[in-house]
Each structure stands twice: as structure tokens, then as C-alpha cells.
Amino acid sequence: QQGSAGVDWLLRHPELAAKDFILTNGSGIHAVPISEQIMAYCFALARELPSAVHAQRERRWARGEFNHVFELAGQTMLLIGVGAIGGRTAEIAKGIGMRVLGVRRNPEVAHPAVEAMYAPGRLLEALPLADWVVITAPYTPETKGMIGERELRAMKPTAYIVNIGRGATIQQAALVRALQEGWIRGAGLDVTDPEPLPADSPLWDMPNVIITPHTSGRTPRRPERAMALFLDNLGRYLRGEPMRNVVDKKLGY
């Protein structure tokens, strides 16, 4: 059993997918901290907190500069990936009055906090509906580069994109252009492509972008949750019962 949810290392070692072993992942143990960080990006960007911090450092009482703050209630969030993290994010978002849509491989699998579920092939249909596009999908051959110029141009010019999955799900050059040219309003990024993000990346200096160094899953409760999952799965294995979080090694999650 591995400690994280993503098994993208299988893409680098495809020969291992054919090996006869059961692989389980840590899906679910990071749902609380990551869903909270997703919402933190949303609250911070909606209330222009990065600008407030900047003004604070300059010791400026910049009350007249905050003319574009808005409420999250009534806005629409589109989750690309509705697993443990996406599901908990949906519950929080719905709880504060947001409308939640989802994209998942099998759209027939519903979630009580998600109003409508779309197949990946309908992504371009769903993107224009969203004020917030949140990527929690795993990194697979299908999700690599899935958000490019076409998808970013399909979003509202007032929309934000949040990525806590893998940096390579977004085509980085297209994202930079989208932010520079106003195709979208802003972004919250816990992951980038490449990592670490190079010091000369234009993303660092954008006032409408929040960057964190792949830390959204950090929590002091991680060891406790990981051990509980491991012990549960060990017991299931010894009793010959179905294990939790079994990875389809060919699908990559």
C-alpha cells in the first residue's frame, strides 16, 4: 500500500502494471486537508486576499482598491474528478450555497452534493457553466494535458481554475497565456509542470494567482489516517476479504 492516491509512477514503469501484485493507495486520507485548501483558494481569490496581504506589507490602508470582491454563494463549481477529495469539496461548496457540477469517467456514479455529472467527452460543454474549475483528477494518459488552449478559452473570462491534482493535467504555456491575456480571471495552483516551478516563470508575479509548493495534503493527522487504512487493509487481506482502494494498474487509479 502506498501513502498517496496518485500512482503516476506506473506511467514511468509500465512493465510493472503486468506484474502479479495487489496495489492499494491512500485515497481518502488527504480528503480533509486538500478539500479545505481548495476552498481556501476560492475564498482568498474571491475576497482579494492576495492584494490585501500585498498592501499590508506596504503598510497601505488600501480600502478603495478592493472593487472586485464577490461572494461564492450562488456560483458554480465544476469538479474534474469526483473521488474522495472531489466529493468532500463538493459537500463544502454546496454547504456554502454553491452549485456543484462534476466530471468523472463514469458519470452514472452520482454524488449527493453534485447536481449533474458529465463524462470526460462532455468537458467542453461543462466548462462554460463554471465560475470555478477544480482539478482533482489523477494523472493518467487520458488526463495528461487535458486542459489546453481550447478548454481555457471555453471557460468564462471571469472564471478561476484550481489545480491540486498533477501539474501536467494543464498545459502550462496555455495557462500562462490564459492568465496574461484574460481568457480567465485567476488560478490557485498547488501543482505545476515542472516542479519545482522555475524562478523565471511568469506565474510567480501574477497578482491573480496563488501558488503553493505541492503542500495541500499536509496535515499532522496524516500518519494516523494512513496507519488506520493500512491496518484495515491488512486485516482484510488476512481474512480474504475485499481490500479498500485497490488500484487498477492499467487505468492508473
Cell output for 212: 503553493
Residue type, position 232, single letter: D
CB atoms within 10 A of CB 234: 12
Q: Evaluate whether 176 touches 202 at the Cβ level (below 8 Å).
A: yes
Q: For residue 2, what are the contacts with CB-CB under 8 A and spacing of at least 6?
A: 23, 24, 25, 26
Question: SS3 for 176?
Answer: helix
Q: Evaluate whether 211 touches 186 at the Cβ level (below 8 Å).
A: no
Give me the active site residues, please.
166, 195, 214
Question: SS3 for 210?
Answer: strand
The Cα-based distances of 197 to 118, 167, 214 in angstroms read 32, 10, 10
Q: Evaluate whether 168 touches 194 at the Cβ level (below 8 Å).
A: no
Residues 50-72: b if buried by 16+ CB within 10 A, e if exposed: bbeeebeeeeeeeeeeeeeeeeb
